[in-house]
Amino acid sequence: MARRQVLLLSSSNVHGFSYLEYAANDIKEFLKKHNVQEVLFIPYALKDHDLYLKKVKDVFTSWGLQMTGIHESKNPVESVKSAKSVFVGGGNTFLLLKSLYDNKLVDLIRSRVMNEGMLYIGTSAGTNVSTKSIHTTNDMPIVYPPSFDALNLVPFNINPHYVDPEPDSKHKGETREERIMQYLETDHAKVVLGLREGSTLLIDGDKAVLKGLKNARIFVKGAEPQEVEVGTDLSYLLKDEENSSESCPK
């Protein structure tokens, strides 16, 4: 069985950097390590697929890489079957997941990543759909996918664009941390990884490490949230969720 290879970005846009610039080295090294030069882009999280493809393709082309859009093919299933890598862009998570279901790609992408070694790169919504479910997305449900269950490339949830409470803010609504803690009160919730802007999770088989520019925050049911520094080994998160709280470092 091939080893799972997944690179998950919190966002494509980070303050002080051009589009995807902060993660450029990680993306290029990820593809180079596996001798992949061609990437299949999945733009389903936004409505204008052609415009979205051009934006991302211009960046990948500047890196010396080739990119095609899945929407350019008459048969999305065959495109994924023959792809060596996919890049799933951000936008609206509900629209993205519904489109994946509509095109019969959810089980196929999971199988190709988990069993055949197809590389998966996701950012924002593309990171959300790579996880157990999209329950911890920040997006509005502008459409309704048949299920909130996602690709399940990792056995936990992620909250991209995680933001910390601002002590001086006059906003009195729930903080992101409070919303995640509310989610953890549900029976099916166990673990949420909050990726701040500039955070990246690299998964190589049964190994996971936090990369990028910013620390992350881990929420485990029944435990206090924890800060995680860049470079931390997060492989324990890939174990069964029932064991996550026992495996989680104190």
Pull the structure tokens for residue 189.
Answer: 């919730």
Domain that holds residue 71: 5-247
Look up 204 and say whether it is catalytic. Answer: no
**Could you tell me the strand order of the sheet in which 226-228 lies?**
157-162, 191-196, 216-220, 226-228
Mean pLDDT (the chain, rounded): 93
The contacts of residue 210 (CB under 8 Å, 6+ apart) are 199, 200, 201, 216, 228, 229, 230, 231, 232, 234
134 pLDDT above the threshold of 90: yes
Q: What are phi and psi of 140, to 5 degrees?
A: -85, 145
pLDDT tens readout for residues 48-94: 999 999 999 999 999 999 999 999 999 999 999 999 999 999 999 99
pLDDT band with cut points at 50, 70 and 90 for residue 40 = very high
pTM of this structure = 0.93
Q: H/E element holding 87?
A: strand 85-88
Q: What is the mean pLDDT of residues 98-113?
A: 98
Look up 147 and say whether it is catalytic. Answer: no
CATH code where residue 231 lies: 3.40.50.880
Look up 164 and say whether it is catalytic. Answer: no
Q: What is the pLDDT of residue 169?
A: 73
242 pLDDT above the threshold of 60: no
Alpha-carbon distance of 235 to 122, in angstroms, equals 19
Domain count of the chain? 1
Q: Which of 12, 139, 199, 244 is catalytic?
A: 139
Q: Which of 10, 11, 124, 199 is catalytic?
A: 124
Q: Which of 99, 161, 199, 244 is catalytic?
A: 161
